[in-house]
Structure 1
Amino acid sequence: MITIIAAAGENNELGKDNDLPWHLPDDFKRFKKLTSHHFIIMGRKTFESLPKTLPDRVHIVITHDKNYGNVGAEVVYSLPEALEKATSTKDVFIIGGGEIFKQALDVADKIELTRVQATFKDADTFFPEFSTDNWKLISEKKHEKDEKHKYAFTYETWVRK
């Protein structure tokens, strides 16, 4: 199973300057629960935005830099190569960034999308548009704004039709 997992604003905003424009602790907990003990595939910038490697996950980093290495992760040079490295009984999660998400839309089985109920005008990275002709929404769970979450958001699960 190949799953894209992301959080995006109402206009598909993912981030600005290689950082998230929001802090949603419950979304982080969900991300950890879903991705732990599995492969996580990401681009180099996403990898470098992490404070450290995430525990209990196999990191696969896609980069064009042939000298990039010894970073606590498997380093590959394309999404197909990353998916080859991830063959096993573990699931595969594509965790970013925008260009990797765009490539993964053609091969993913599922999208776990946290839709943040806000717009972020300064964003410089975006989640790709995807067609409901190809994807079916099978689950939605709303999370209201509260003392720990400045924005309301909805967990959406999409599967390929």
Structure 2
Amino acid sequence: MKAGLVLVAAVAENGVIGAAGGMPWHLSSDLKRFRAITTGHPVLMGRKTYASIGRPLPGRDTIVVTRDAAFAADGVIAAPSLEAGLEIADGKAAERGVAAIMVIGGGEIFSALIGQAAALRITEVHAVPDGDVLFPAIDPALWRETERSGPVRGERDSAPVSFVDYVRRVPLAAPTER
């Protein structure tokens, strides 16, 4: 089985997804959706994203891509390269019997993998915060919006959000060995 890649991110109107090692907002409604989308799947992230979360994610295989050979954390699988991380995540997806690997950041990982992704699960944050990490542009020639809800603003959200799903307009070729 070759699992498909799904990029999952909260993205501000100016493309910002991160600021100073964290997120420039607090969005309880996004966290609830994130949990629902990712639970039961392998999640792939970079070391900085893991540092911002600070712990493995319950109910998910937490795979962290890092060049730091000494990196170790309980409940986390360290991968020395993006290719190794994808291979590990694909194996975990097969073990779980799921068809998707959830890619959850950060900016470098998203930029490297958007060209291989089958779908995007985006929370559009209706704000324009300062930030230092950006999500790659979503090209409408390549991505078709399949579902949209919102905008909504939960009582514990610092900004209104819309939940938007995309699929690739032209499906990827059959997977090859990574």
Question: Please, what TM-score do these two structures have when normalized by structure 2?
Answer: 0.85
**What is the RMSD computed on CA atoms of the aligned residues?**
1.3
Question: Between Structure 1 and Structure 2, how many residues are aligned?
Answer: 160
> Deviation string for 1:111-159 (max 9, x for gaps)?
00101001012x0111111311111111111132343223111111010
> Which stretch of the first structure deviates more once superposed, 28-37 or 68-77?
68-77
**Does 2:28 align with 1:20?**
no
1:97 matched to which residue of 2?
Answer: 106
1:65 matched to which residue of 2?
Answer: 68
**Gapped runs of 5+ residues in structure 1?**
none
Note if contact 1:40-1:58 (Cα within 8 Å) is conserved in structure 2.
yes
SS in 2 for 1:31: helix
Q: Distance in 2 between matches of 1:157 and 1:70?
A: 32
Q: Distance in 2 between matches of 1:31 and 1:145?
A: 16
Taking structure 1 as reference, are residues 141 and 69 closer, same or farther at Cα in structure 2, changes over 3 Å only?
same
1:128 matched to which residue of 2?
Answer: 136
Taking structure 1 as reference, are residues 56 and 150 closer, same or farther at Cα in structure 2, changes over 3 Å only?
same
Q: Distance in 2 between matches of 1:128 and 1:78?
A: 20
SS in 2 for 1:155: strand
Letter in 2 for 1:149: D
SS in 1 for 2:116: coil
Note if contact 2:110-2:136 (Cα within 8 Å) is conserved in structure 1.
yes
Note if contact 2:28-2:154 (Cα within 8 Å) is conserved in structure 1.
no
**Does 2:5 align with 1:2?**
yes
**Does 2:38 align with 1:29?**
no
Question: Please, what TM-score do these two structures have when normalized by structure 1?
Answer: 0.93
**Gapped runs of 5+ residues in structure 2?**
170-178
Which structure shows the higher helix fraction? 2
Aligned-residue sequence identity (percent) comes to: 32
Note if contact 1:9-1:118 (Cα within 8 Å) is conserved in structure 2.
yes
Taking structure 1 as reference, are residues 146 and 40 closer, same or farther at Cα in structure 2, changes over 3 Å only?
closer
SS in 2 for 1:148: coil
Q: Distance in 2 between matches of 1:146 and 1:58?
A: 29
Q: Distance in 2 between matches of 1:101 and 1:60?
A: 15
1:41 matched to which residue of 2?
Answer: 44
Q: Distance in 2 between matches of 1:146 and 1:75?
A: 35
> Deviation string for 1:44-102 (max 9, x for gaps)?
01011113211100011001112222442111122222111122123210000000000
